[in-house]
Amino acid sequence: MDDWWRGCVIYQIYPRSFQDTDGDGIGDLPGIIARLDHVAKLGADAIWLSPIFRSPMADMGYDVSDYCDIDPLFGGLADFDALLARAHELGLKVILDMVLSHSSDQHPWFVESRANRDNPRADWYVWVDPGPDGMPPNNWVSVFGGPAWEWDSRRRQYYLHNFLTTQPDLNFHNPEVQEAMLEIMRFWLERGVDGFRLDTVNYYFHDRKLRPNPPASRDDPHPSVNPYEMQDHRYQKNRPDNLAFLGRMRALMDRYDERVLIGEVGETPQRAIEIMAEYTRGAGRLHMAYSFDMLGPEFSARHFRSRIAKYFKAAPDGWPCWSFSNHDVARHVTRWAAHAAGEDALARQAVAMLLSFPGSACLYQGE
């Protein structure tokens, strides 16, 4: 099997702001098709499309209401097939952003699940009875602030949401949910997709006992903007069950030629590289993963060297993917402006450095 992904350059496209062809002010799939020649001439090996599935867009597509259809904002399945065909003609692989840890609250699965406690999908999401005082079962908090539990008056239970209240977490402890996720992947693989970028890959499973998270280490910084960082989320994510399910995902991918699984690790700087390594070393896991370690304000040889060395020490047989910019952060030419004589010089220095790192590289559109 061709390990094309080793050392590849992936070009991330955020469809909404890339190229608009129908005059509604929102980028679309025909717009991406029109620019694929340019991306190929840059020397990219693959494109990563940020979410294009049907969505109410409460979180810009990271709240999916139909995993097997394209949101009309961007086009339709025929447009996607045309994009895939043109990309392959140009020698470009196509990687889809797959958001599996949670869905939109408008997904038919959740609509059915919240209707009552005895429907076929009643256990597809994480539902918990309130405590005797009516409070949530534990102290878990959302990445976006506030409790990770939302009260639902129909079921008279709380449901888990690691992100927005409109993004309920799926219950991966339910075998039916696991099968549904694999079937979604199979749908796109059969259509010819070359791989998936798995959003928040370390959030799939939660602690069955719902144990409370302990405080974060006192050595960890406590950002004033988000109390989420004040907890050690050992029971909310990074659960051992995750690795077993990644093995099932990898087994599915390996039935197809030249496909790739890339994981986004959502973790604190203190643990991100450790989780990256755990999820990519040995067989039966992700092909590669990336974290936010190089997406912050730090710009020094010491910082970059330490991240790379720490990864390969923990996973000598693993493979990382490094990036300086993406849709979640300000571009690196802005973040690191104080370290160069101008944006052009910094941009050239950064891309030369990024492409010299051992591993694969991901460029954000426009770089």
Q: Which of 229, 267, 278, 367 is catalytic?
A: 267
Contact 129, 188 (CB under 8 A): no
Reply yes or no on whether 123 is catalytic.
no
In this structure, what token pair is assigned to residue 74?
Answer: 């961007």
Q: Which of 79, 97, 199, 293 is catalytic?
A: 199
Give, in degrees to the nearest 5, the angle at Cα 247 between 245 and 251: 120
CA distance 49 to 197: 9
Q: Is 194 a catalytic residue?
A: no
Assign residue 23 a region (left: φ > 0; alpha: ψ between -120 and 50; beta: otherwise). left
Give the active site residues.
199, 267
